[in-house]
Each structure stands twice: as structure tokens, then as C-alpha cells.
Amino acid sequence: MIWRSFVSEWVKMRRRRLWYGTYGAITGVVMLTTIVTIAGALRHPGAHGALTLVQLAHASGLSQGLTQSGVLLGAVSFSVAAFQFGGEFSHGTLRNLLVRQPRRSVLMAGKCLAVLTFLIGAVVLATVFGICAAFVMAHLRSIPTSAWTSGAGMSDLGNLLGDLVIATCGFAVIGMIAGVLFRSSVIAIAAGLAVLLPFETILTDAVPGTGRWLPAQLLEAIAQGGSASAPFAAAVITVAAYLAGAVAIAMLVFVRRDVTA
Amino acid sequence: MVTRALTKRFGKRLAVDGLDLRIPAGSISGFVGPNGAGKTTTIRMLLGLIRPTDGTGTVLGHPLGHSRAYLPRVGALIEGPTFYPALSGRENLMVLARLGGLRPNRVDAVLERVGLHGRGLDPFRTYSLGMRQRLGIAAALLPGPELLVLDEPTNGLDPYGIAEIRAMLRSFADDGMTVFVSSHLLAEIQQVCEHLVVIEAGRLLFQGGVDELLAARAPELIVRTENPGDARYLLALVKGTGRRARLIGHYESTTLEIVADCSWAGDLNRLAMANGITLVHLAERRSTLEEAFFEITRTGGRAKSGPGGSSSDPAGFGRKAGSWAAKGRRP
């Protein structure tokens, strides 16, 4: 049953414009942050803890640029997921789907899996392009890359990819929840991005210590492999708890609410 | 399809009020009522999209609360065709076919059936309104349904499109489907449907055979005299026989409307001839569904069941002597 819903959603997501838009945006974000990070690296240690070329030559250097793209990847993932779910209400297509699949939880689970696989594919592709961009930039800035291809470098890259996937999925699930609760892709995206990005950032700056409790801050920390205020394990556990609760509420609302759209 | 006291309340607003439906299998049933009467809400409850506040019902032998048991055998077009604009007609149907676990070749079959096979690969957003309606019907046909529920399938269509949909509905019934169709186009309902449900403000006003509803209206004869003065004279003569009649139109009109069936036409003709009145037109006037609908909704009607139902007033809205409309509301 979930498989049918999953396959059905993929029929919808195969459209070229969605692929170009999402994969292009995510790849562009990753490449851009990689290029900017390496281009902005200092030849000698400077103020504000800026990266240096020596640091970039380490095994973790390859993933430095990718690490910075977590929030932007999250914003794109959130928007795509919110659009895929909220759009069903906005377009009025949900009623068609529910006539063919009356088990609403099954429908939601299948759609969710499809959107997540779509976004994970985008992150993997973007990472590949980000790596290519990093090697090109390393060549341009004469950064030795032998450490990048070492076992430690590959391991670091693997960890980073895993972190990015977790963070992306987290943002996507929040997007789906927003789509279901707001029943409009436009409102879900607008309200969600406003809360997740500027609002949370301002709140974190204004009230020290709140960063370890706010979902977007936690997901950003996860994308970076953990931060000082939110260690990786703690961030994953907190986000998992948030998402479990939110998914349960969204599922309950989705299953019980009348479909009048 | 049967419901008993089906009720839906949105906050303080009562959208559907104790509806007792009985839709016979294998028929084309029309579902009519003014805007906001509760038709779409009723259809959504039948399809499991909206939870009834109260009442029960069965669809294809399964209770309303178990829509998953009967929906695989139901096709539906609800409140107009809504699809993903960027996807082609074929892809839109494929989304639904995959979701319902249906074979992909069903998509081509239903596109062929509604005459969209040649445009199946075009994006939905490029479709005309008629094509969109046909795609909606194609989506409803996907599971090879036993019950087809169509909400306003002719909305916004030109006369050719309406005629196409009408022909389709007849062909579906010929295939043995039960078709339940809501529409504002009463002339279409009259042409296509055998059974009719009329609701207003969420309440059932009438259900039964269309012929039964039309036959319940008092028959009328339309008479035109050669000379204007003769019409008024004939009016007095007819009233003298105890029949109700009226002059149609202006003071100098030559046309009379007489409440009588065609068996009295001969007597009327003789009456006119005996008094030196020449008739240039004498015909029975058949009631239209539109007239019946306006009357039944204006008067509040009286709930009437067709098969298996009962009513003290077979018309559901019988005329009172000397009046052209019943006055009483439903008890």
C-alpha cells in the first residue's frame, strides 16, 4: 500500500521542471558555498577564525565548503516538501488521491518517503558536484589535495554526506508538516521559512542558549556534524523527538480532518 | 447507495440535515438543488472525504465509515476536474492508477473512452474546459467502477460538450454502472436521468422517478384563439366548467393556459366551436423539470421516496385549488 503511494508520488515528481529546479538549486547552493569557502580562505592565519589554505589541505578540507551549505539546503528541501504536500490542498488534487487511496496515513507515508528519496538524491548529486568544484578551486588556489583522497578524507566526506542527508530530511519533514497543517503551499513556505530562518536566527542571537532547542538551529548543527552549543548526538535526539511529535500531530490532523478543498 | 438521517454540521451551520437517500442500483440518478444546498457535502460524505456529524449509510453494501471497502469500486469526479497543471493528462491519470494499484493500460483505455487519446500527452494546463471535464470523467472511470459519482460534470461546457457528456452518461448506464450525477442543468438531468433527488438547505425535498415528479404536476392545455377578444370569452367559458385557466401574457393575448389533461381537448374544442370561437392552436403542454424544480424548491416540497418510500402526496408539491403554488412548508 505504501509502495503504491510512493510510486504514485514519483510519477508526479518525475516532471522535468521539478528536477531542474530542485536539483539545480541544491547543486548550485552546494557548489556556490564550496567555491566561496575555498576562494575566501586566507593564505595566513587571520582574525575571526577564518579558514586558511593550510587548514583546507587537511583531510577535512574537502568537506569544509559542503558543511556551510546545510541551512540553504534545508531551505530548499523545506520548500519542496511543503510544496508537494500543501499543493495537494491548494490544487484540490487531494480529494482525487483520497478516493483512490482512502487510507490517509498510508498515502501520507508513501508521499513522505517519495519526497525524502527525491531530496536525498538531490543532496548526493549536489555533493558530487561540490566535490568537483572543490577540486577545481583547490587547483586554482594551489591547495594540495592528497589528504582529501586519503582514507581519513573519504571517511570525513562520508560522515558529512550522512549529516547533510539527516539535516535535509529533517527540514523536509518539517516542510511536509507545514504543508499539511497550513493546507497551502504558499502559506506553508512563507510562514515556515520566516520562522526557521530569520526568526530563529534573531531569537538565537537575542537569547543565548536557545539555539540548542530551536529546530532549524539544531538541523544546521547536525549538517555541520555538531556545534559548540548543540553537540551532534544531542541535536539528533532533540530533533528526532520534535519530529516524532510533530509527525504524530500532523498525521492525526491529516487523518481526521475533513477534506473540503 | 442508501443513507439514513445523514447529517453534517460545520460549526453552527447545518450543511446536510437528516438526509435519507435511496439510490437504486443500475440507474442514472440526478442530484439537484440550489447552490449551497449541500450536494457536494453529501457527495464528499459518501466518498469518505468528510465525516458525517450524524446518520448512517451504505455504499455498495458497505457502511459509510468503511470507505476503503467500497471506494475501489467507485469512480468520482468531485467539484470539477482538478489535476496537476504541469503533468500531461496521461501522467495525471497514471498518478491515480499507480495509487489505486490499477494496471497502466487502464489509463489508455479510459483516455480512449472519453475521446482524449490524441491529447493524452499534452499538459493538463493546455486543456480546454471540455477536455478537463472529460479527463475528470476518465479519472473516475479508471477503476472500472460499479458506481460513478459525478459532481457537476457539465459545468461550464458548451452545448456540444454537454451533449457529449450526456451521451457518455448513457453509455455508462448501458454498461451497467450506477451513475449518480449532480448538476444545475435541469434540462440535461431531465433528458438523462431516470431517478431524481432534490435537496435544499441540506434537506430532502423529493426523491423518486423523474417521470413521477413531472406527472405529479397538473397537466395543462395551451390554447390559442384566432381573435384576441375570443380568448377572454373562452376563458370565462372554461372557468364556467369549473376548471382553472388563465390568460397568458398581456391583456390582448390570444393564448390560454388551462389546467386539464389532453382527454378534455376534444370537449374544449367543441365548447369553442359551439360558441363561435376558432382555435388556431390546441396542444398539451408537458411540464419541464425546471418548472418542477422551481416549484418544489419554492414551496419547500414534501419529501417523497420513490422505490420503497412513502408519501401522502405523490407529487411532493401538489397544487392547491385556485392557486398556482402550494403554500405549506415541509412538516
C-alpha to C-alpha distance for B127 and B121, rounded to whole angstroms: 11
Tell whether the model's pLDDT for residue B323 goes beyond 90: no
Using a CB–CB cutoff of 8 Å, tell me whether A228 touches chain B: no
- Neighbour count for residue B311 (Cβ, 10 Å): 15
Give percent above pLDDT 70 in chain B.
Answer: 90
**Residue B259 confidence (pLDDT):** 80
Using a CB–CB cutoff of 8 Å, tell me whether A100 touches chain B: yes
Q: How far is CA A101 from CA A63, B39, B67, B140, B251, in A?
A: 43, 23, 10, 13, 64
| CA distance from start to end of chain B | 26
Contact at CB, B83 and A258, closer than 8 angstroms: no
B74-77/B220-225 β-pairing: unpaired
- Please list every residue in chain A whose beta carbon sits closer than 8 Å to the beta carbon of residue B99: 4-5, 8, 97, 100-101, 107
Does residue A9 fall inside a structural domain? yes
Contact at CB, B91 and A15, closer than 8 angstroms: yes
The type of residue at B146 is: E
Burial grade of B240 (CB within 10 A; 0-12, 13-18, 19 or more): exposed
Q: Give chain B's mean pLDDT.
A: 85
Whether residue A221 contacts residue A229, with contact meaning beta carbons closer than 8 Å, is answered with yes
> If you classify domain B2-214 with CATH, what class do you get?
alpha beta
Does residue A159 fall inside a structural domain? yes
**Residue B164 confidence (pLDDT):** 87
C-alpha to C-alpha distance for B58 and B71, rounded to whole angstroms: 12
- Please list every residue in chain A whose beta carbon sits closer than 8 Å to the beta carbon of residue B74: 99
CA closest to B10 among chain A residues: A258
C-alpha to C-alpha distance for B24 and B83, rounded to whole angstroms: 31
- Please list every residue in chain A whose beta carbon sits closer than 8 Å to the beta carbon of residue B63: none
Q: Which domain holds residue A179?
A: 2-256
CATH of B218-285, one of 3.30.70.1230, 3.50.50.60, 3.30.70.120, 3.40.50.970: 3.30.70.120
- The total of structural domains in chain A comes to 1
**Residue B310 confidence (pLDDT):** 34
Mutation target vs B (from A19, A95, A100; most B CBs, 10 A cutoff): A100
Q: What is the pLDDT of residues B70-122, one digit of tens each?
A: 999 999 999 889 999 999 999 999 999 999 999 999 999 999 999 999 999 99
Tell whether the model's pLDDT for residue B243 goes beyond 80: yes
- Strand, coil or helix: what is B122? coil
**Residue B189 confidence (pLDDT):** 87
Contact at CB, A102 and B101, closer than 8 angstroms: no
Tell whether the model's pLDDT for residue B46 goes beyond 80: yes
**Residue B301 confidence (pLDDT):** 62
C-alpha to C-alpha distance for A129 and A66, rounded to whole angstroms: 10
pTM score of the predicted model? 0.84
Using a CB–CB cutoff of 8 Å, tell me whether A13 touches chain B: no
DSSP string, A95-136: HHHHHH---HHHHHHHHHHHHHHHHHHHHHHHHHHHHHHHHH
Nearest to B82 among A4, A92, A107 (CB): A92
Tell whether the model's pLDDT for residue B313 goes beyond 80: no
Contact at CB, A95 and B85, closer than 8 angstroms: no
CA closest to A9 among chain B residues: B95
Does residue A227 fall inside a structural domain? yes
B7 grid coordinates? 447529517
Q: What is the pLDDT of residues B244-287, one digit of tens each?
A: 888 887 767 788 888 877 788 899 999 999 999 999 999 888 77
Min Cα distance A260 → chain B (Å) is 7
Q: Please state the separation of Cα B158 from the chain's center in Å.
A: 18
Q: What is the pLDDT of residues A97-138, one digit of tens each?
A: 999 999 999 999 999 999 999 999 999 999 999 999 999 999
C-alpha to C-alpha distance for B138 and B146, rounded to whole angstroms: 14
Provide the edge-to-edge strand list for the sheet that holds B195-200. Answer: B74-77, B147-151, B178-182, B28-32, B195-200, B203-209
The type of residue at A227 is: S
Provide the ipTM: 0.89
Does residue A224 fall inside a structural domain? yes
**Residue B319 confidence (pLDDT):** 32
- Neighbour count for residue A109 (Cβ, 10 Å): 17
pLDDT band of residue B185 (cuts 50, 70, 90) is: confident
Q: In the A/B pair of chains, how many CB contacts fall below 8 A? A: 83
Contact at CB, B44 and A101, closer than 8 angstroms: no
- pLDDT under 70 in chain A at which residues? 46-49
Does residue A169 fall inside a structural domain? yes
Nearest to B84 among A93, A95, A259 (CB): A93
The full set of domain ranges for chain B reads 2-214, 218-285
**Residue B131 confidence (pLDDT):** 92
With CA atoms as reference, report the closest residue to B76 among B146, B25, B151, B127: B151
Contact at CB, B95 and A92, closer than 8 angstroms: no
Using a CB–CB cutoff of 8 Å, tell me whether A95 touches chain B: yes
| CA distance from start to end of chain A | 24
- Please list every residue in chain B whose beta carbon sits closer than 8 Å to the beta carbon of residue A4: 98-101
Does residue A77 fall inside a structural domain? yes
Provide the edge-to-edge strand list for the sheet that holds B245-247. Answer: B245-247, B255-259, B220-225, B279-285
**Residue B261 confidence (pLDDT):** 77
Contact at CB, A15 and B87, closer than 8 angstroms: yes
**Residue A49 confidence (pLDDT):** 67
Residue B58 dihedral angles phi and psi, to the nearest 5°:
-135, 145
Q: What is the pLDDT of residues B120-149, one digit of tens each?
A: 999 999 999 889 999 999 999 999 999 999
Burial grade of A261 (CB within 10 A; 0-12, 13-18, 19 or more): middle
Min Cα distance A24 → chain B (Å) is 18
Does residue A261 fall inside a structural domain? no
